């Protein structure tokens, strides 16, 4: 039996190890000068004026909602087909997450459905660049402008992706990233808020540190959402590696496009025009025309030592703390159906040719 192939693989290289050593030698391991350098480099990478490094992608989303002034009674439109942190962020501020259905081709928010959900209370839209593909910002920016909404971009899965030449993070008013271990680049745990808006950046900074403007001068609510120089030293090395890591993901995805296209009942991810998709996941849909249903397909691959992912097994509106806001089964038919069809094949940068060939062979044998 061959070695198992996992959905993700984390490798920490020499550059990261040396960077950590230097931080240890400096004696300053909390958030300091290294974090500040990482912020500058990451802002430059995204093409934004400001970047604020935080402890996680979740913290970044919370800071973004605070910066956007989201408060009790507001509504925030977002997608039900994402990681739960996206929709929890507005709840923290007493706002209601108002879900809008997705487009099945891209798994991203359907801008038409977004516009239908706008009311007098709508304050912001949180979009997600799911699986590494930017959402439909041309339309979403128009909607945000027309209705004076803050557009928050959850780019936790899309470091280095682009739309019309512009990088993720810079596609809305505030961008949020995660550097969790399995993302396209990592600091172990970590996150970043990026923006061109000075006021948003300042508010994110305040929220990161107990609302402290000057030493013991607390001007608003805040928490400890700091990162560390240890984590951000890894981040600086990873940022330099990111273009190559993304390249390999794209190449692996291309392998699947070349070899899996045209299998009846399997739908490969659609990449929109003008988009650079960075394939955080290669998520296919198993439809009723295929021999096996999604769960059988997953189990079959598992028996062949291929471990896939199900992102995501359920539309968020059906989890108890959203359901009690009045959502029910049938509210978002596309998200609900897609949740039963999706399976993500390994696409991480460390897959070998032989592993890719094996995965394709096993799938074709079905
Ligand atoms: C990973 C992720 C987050 C949360 O990031 P953490 O660093 O794990 O807190 C938020 N949104 C999306 C879409 C993610 O994939």
Is it the case that residue 1 has pLDDT exceeding 80?
no
Q: What are 127's two structure tokens?
A: 């979009």
Distances (CA, A) of 216 to 182, 211, 227, 284: 37, 9, 20, 52
**pTM higher than 0.85:** yes
pLDDT at 285: 98
- Could you tell which of 8, 65, 85 is best to mutate to test the pocket of ligand 1, judged by most ligand atoms within 8 Å of the CB? 85
| Sequence-distant (≥ 6) Cβ neighbours of residue 95 within 8 angstroms | 65, 70, 71, 72, 73, 74, 75, 76, 123
pLDDT at 230: 97
Output the CA 13–ligand 1 centroid distance in Å: 23
Dist CA 342 CA 309 (whole Å): 9
Q: Using an 8 Å Cβ cutoff, are 187 and 53 in contact?
A: no
Q: How does residue 2 score in pLDDT terms, banded at 50, 70 and 90?
A: confident
Tens digit of each residue's pLDDT (9 = 90 or more) over 170-216: 999 999 999 999 999 999 999 999 999 999 999 999 999 999 999 99
Output the CA 339–ligand 1 centroid distance in Å: 18
Q: What is the mean pLDDT of residues 43-50?
A: 98
Tens digit of each residue's pLDDT (9 = 90 or more) over 61-98: 999 999 999 999 999 999 999 999 999 999 999 999 99
Q: What is the mean pLDDT of residues 312-319?
A: 98
Q: What are 69's two structure tokens?
A: 């002034």
pLDDT at 192: 98
User: Residue whose CA is closest, atom 3 of ligand 1?
Assistant: 57
Hey, which bits of the chain come out as E strands?
Answer: 50-54, 75-78, 96-99, 122-128, 150-154, 162-163, 166-167, 174-178, 191-195, 212-214, 217-218, 266-267, 275-276, 282-286, 342-345
Tens digit of each residue's pLDDT (9 = 90 or more) over 151-180: 999 999 999 999 999 999 999 999 999 999
Q: Using an 8 Å Cβ cutoff, are 77 and 96 in contact?
A: no
For the chain, give the percent of residues with pLDDT over 90. Answer: 99
Measured from CB, residues less than 6 Å from any atom of ligand 1 are 56-58, 82-83, 85-86, 128, 154, 156-157, 178, 180, 191
Dist CA 274 CA 38 (whole Å): 28
Q: Which atom belonging to ligand 1 lies closest to the Cα atom of 82?
A: 13
Tens digit of each residue's pLDDT (9 = 90 or more) over 327-349: 999 999 999 999 999 999 999 99
Output the CA 189–ligand 1 centroid distance in Å: 10
For the chain, give the percent of residues with pLDDT over 70. Answer: 100
Tens digit of each residue's pLDDT (9 = 90 or more) over 257-270: 999 999 999 999 99
Element (H, E) at 242: helix 229-260
- Could you tell which of 10, 57, 182 is best to mutate to test the pocket of ligand 1, judged by most ligand atoms within 8 Å of the CB? 57
Virtual torsion, Cα 67, 70, 75, 78, nearest 10 deg: 30
Q: What are 304's two structure tokens?
A: 């062949």
**DSSP state letter for 160:** T
Output the CA 290–ligand 1 centroid distance in Å: 31
User: Residue whose CA is closest, atom 14 of ligand 1?
Assistant: 156
Output the CA 154–ligand 1 centroid distance in Å: 8
Buried b or exposed e, range 28-38, using 16+ CB within 10 angstroms: eeebeebbebb
Q: How does residue 12 score in pLDDT terms, banded at 50, 70 and 90?
A: very high
- Could you tell which of 7, 131, 180 is best to mutate to test the pocket of ligand 1, judged by most ligand atoms within 8 Å of the CB? 180
Phi, psi of 287 (to 5 degrees): -100, 170
Dist CA 13 CA 353 (whole Å): 21
Residue that is written with structure tokens 């280095």 in the block: 160
């Amino acid at each position: 039996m061959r070695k198992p192939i996992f959905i993700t693989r984390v490798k920490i290289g020499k550059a990261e190890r040396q960077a950590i050593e230097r931080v240890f030698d400096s004696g300053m391991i909390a958030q300091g000068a290294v974090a500040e350098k990482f912020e500058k480099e990451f802002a430059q990478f995204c093409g934004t004026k400001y970047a604020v490094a935080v402890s996680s992608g979740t913290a970044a989303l919370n800071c973004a909602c605070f910066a956007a002034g989201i408060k009790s009674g507001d509504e925030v439109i977002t997608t039900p087909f994402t990681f739960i942190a996206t929709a929890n962020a507005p709840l923290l501020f007493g706002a209601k997450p108002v879900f809008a259905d997705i487009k099945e081709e891209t798994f991203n928010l359907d801008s038409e459905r977004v516009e239908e959900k706008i009311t007098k209370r709508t304050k912001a839209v949180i979009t997600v660049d799911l699986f590494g593909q930017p959402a439909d910002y041309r339309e979403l920016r128009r909607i945000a402008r027309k209705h004076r909404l803050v557009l928050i971009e959850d780019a936790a899965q899309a470091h280095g992706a682009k739309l019309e030449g512009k990088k993720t993070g810079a596609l809305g008013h505030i961008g949020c990233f995660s550097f969790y271990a399995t993302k396209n680049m990592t600091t172990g745990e970590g996150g970043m808020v990026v923006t061109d808006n000075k006021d948003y950046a300042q508010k994110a900074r305040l929220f990161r540190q107990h609302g402290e403007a000057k030493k013991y001068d607390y001007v608003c609510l805040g928490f400890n959402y700091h990162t560390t120089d240890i984590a951000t030293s890894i981040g600086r090395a990873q940022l330099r590696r990111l273009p190559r890591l993304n390249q390999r993901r794209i190449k692996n995805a291309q392998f699947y496009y070349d070899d899996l296209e045209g299998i009846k009942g399997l739908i490969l991810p659609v990449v929109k025009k003008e988009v650079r998709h960075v394939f955080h996941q290669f998520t296919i849909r198993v439809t009723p025309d295929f021999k096996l249903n999604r769960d059988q397909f997953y189990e079959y691959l598992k028996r062949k030592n291929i471990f896939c992912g199900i992102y995501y097994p359920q539309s968020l509106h059906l989890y108890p703390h959203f359901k009690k806001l009045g959502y029910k089964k049938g509210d978002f038919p596309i998200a609900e159906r897609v949740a039963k069809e999706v399976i993500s094949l390994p696409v991480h940068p460390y897959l070998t040719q032989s592993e890719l060939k094996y995965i394709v062979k096993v799938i074709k044998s079905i």
